[in-house]
Amino acid sequence: MALEDYQGDMGMCCRCSACKFIPMQKVKGSEYSYACPSIAKYNFHAYSAGGRLNIAAAMLKNGFNYTDKLLDIVYNCQMCGACGVSCNYAMDMEVLEPISEFRLKCVEDGKTNPALDKVISGLRKQGSMVPAKGKRGDWAAGLNLKDATKEKVDVLYHVGCLTSYDKDMQKLAKATVKILQKAGVNFGIAGNAETCCGGRAYQMGYKEDFLNQAKKNMAMIKKAGIKTVVTGCADGYQAFKVLYDRFDLKGDLVVLHISEYIDKLIKDGKLKPRKKADISVTYHDPCRLGRLGEPWIHWKGKKIPGDRFVFDPPKPYRRGTNGVYEPPRDVIESVPGVKLTEMTRIKEYSWCCGAGGGVNESNPGFARWTAQKRIEEAVSTGAEAIVTACPLCEKTFNEAIKESGSSLKVYDIVELVEKAI
């Protein structure tokens, strides 16, 4: 699909501004009512989903006039998809897809963001979205883990770039290993052979780089005969499960996020969190595990001429309904002593951590601003800690907390479970 293919969808935008807010019946007052970080920060309607669609439609009609402001609008979006959920409560139209296609077109036309170019350059050289110091599998030194590319395993644990290379985040990989070992799972890692999933490259607009990464990963997986992949980050989850499927690369690979897998292990009686934690927490839904983690729906059809925006065959929309919402909550609540209090913006209408879409690299100040809003929301629940299920969320929250001086603690779900087993 290209931007042109979404002309009908863009034409359906009635400029109602619903995309700016969480679904109306979920608004609890004047605080935490916004869904879209970009419009909340930059205020001009152009930074909302509706504004983006109207701009894209106008440029398709009148020609693409790239200005610095236009690129500022294009790249100051976390691609978090909250806009689409709010719109699609009432409307039948694609929202995030044309926004994403607009960014892909910018990259195709060479209108890139220098900070993102640098990240992609690193990806092309090192197979990583974060600076790669040392080898990718160094974190596993001494753990004596199976090499999934050589040994027969039931599960490949795909660690992800940030967790592999960032010394502060490697604790998540080690916690995951401990959990899987405790549950007796026959798992392995790809170690130095692991490479980036490519998901964030796609978010940033670099489709070809995404496809290169996806093909490399799937070639390795097929060669090793791996049937199930468990990812430690939400970006990886969405890439393997949704994007690979979208581009017909996934095949019958089973993709699970670590929170889903732990939930399954607990429910199957293979893992029992026993140690009491005595902590009050709130849970942050990562965008790409939640609303954007719902399965891809393969569909082809034509608009039926006439009064309605309907298709033959009927078009099923991904409205965020089938994201992963309950498994992480069930895992958290399975830990004795943990009290879970929800924030206002949760599940399909969760507020983004701020790091998505390359914003962490292209505009770190905006990423931290977005994270800070989430920290304030978490603090308002009275929780001592915010639990998330993505290392990028954890990192961004910690940076915001460091800047603001908040005493809120941040944990990945695997850290919480590790303490309880």
Partner 1 sequence: MALSKEVYKEFEDMVGEENICNDPAIMPAYYSTDFAAVILPGNTAEVQAVVKLCNKHKLQFRPICTGWSGMFPKDIILLDLRRMNHIIEINEKNMYAVVEPYVISSELQAELFKRGLNFCIKGAGTNCSAMLRGHGHMDQTTSGDDRNHLAIEWITPEGNIVRSGALGSSDEWFCGDGPGPSLRSILTSAVPPGVTPGVFTKAAIKLYHWPGPSVYPIEGISPHYSLSEIPPNMMARYFSFPSVEKMWQAELKIGESEIAFELMGFNVSMVAANITTCNEEEEETFNRLNSEVQGPGFFVIIAGDSPSDFEYKKRVLEKIVSEADGKSLKAVEDPKIEGILMCQCTRISASIRETFRNGGAFNSIPIMGQRDLTIKWAIGAGKAKEPLIKDGYIVDDGGAFFGWGVEQGHLGKTEIFCKFDPANPEAKAAVEGWQKEQSMRAFKERYFASTMGPQDEIGPALLNYHLWWRKLTKALDPNGVSPEGGALV
| Chain residues in the site for partner 1 (CB under 8 A) | 8, 11-12, 14-18, 20-21, 23-30, 33, 39, 43-46, 48, 50-52, 54-55, 57-59, 65, 67-70, 73, 85-86, 88-92, 306-310, 314, 317, 319-323, 325, 347-349
As measured in angstroms, the least distance from the Cβ of 395 to partner 1 is 27
Q: Which is nearer to partner 1, 16 or 143 (CB)?
A: 16
Closest CA to 322 of 297, 286, 294, 284: 294
As measured in angstroms, the least distance from the Cβ of 412 to partner 1 is 24
Q: Which is nearer to partner 1, 59 or 193 (CB)?
A: 59
Mark residue 361 as left, alpha or beta (left: phi above 0; alpha: psi -120 to 50; beta: remaining). Answer: alpha
As measured in angstroms, the least distance from the Cβ of 319 to partner 1 is 6
As measured in angstroms, the least distance from the Cβ of 127 to partner 1 is 35
Q: Which is nearer to partner 1, 54 or 126 (CB)?
A: 54
Q: Which is nearer to partner 1, 134 or 301 (CB)?
A: 301
- Return d(Cα 197, Cα 161) in angstroms, integer: 8
Q: Which is nearer to partner 1, 141 or 297 (CB)?
A: 297
Q: Which is nearer to partner 1, 164 or 372 (CB)?
A: 372
In three-state secondary structure terms, 292 is: helix
As measured in angstroms, the least distance from the Cβ of 84 to partner 1 is 10
- Return d(Cα 336, Cα 289) in angstroms, integer: 24
Pairing of strands 187-189, 254-257: unpaired
Q: Which is nearer to partner 1, 4 or 168 (CB)?
A: 4
Tell me, rounded to whole angstroms, the distance of Cα 209 from its chain centroid: 18
- Return d(Cα 53, Cα 40) in angstroms, integer: 17
As measured in angstroms, the least distance from the Cβ of 81 to partner 1 is 12
- Return d(Cα 416, Cα 421) in angstroms, integer: 9
Q: One-letter amino acid identity for 197?
A: C
- Return d(Cα 356, Cα 296) in angstroms, integer: 19
E strands, 194-314, where? 228-231, 254-257, 279-283, 302-303, 311-312
CA angle 368, 372, 376 (to 5 degrees): 175
As measured in angstroms, the least distance from the Cβ of 325 to partner 1 is 7
- Return d(Cα 264, Cα 258) in angstroms, integer: 10
Q: One-letter amino acid identity for 370?
A: T
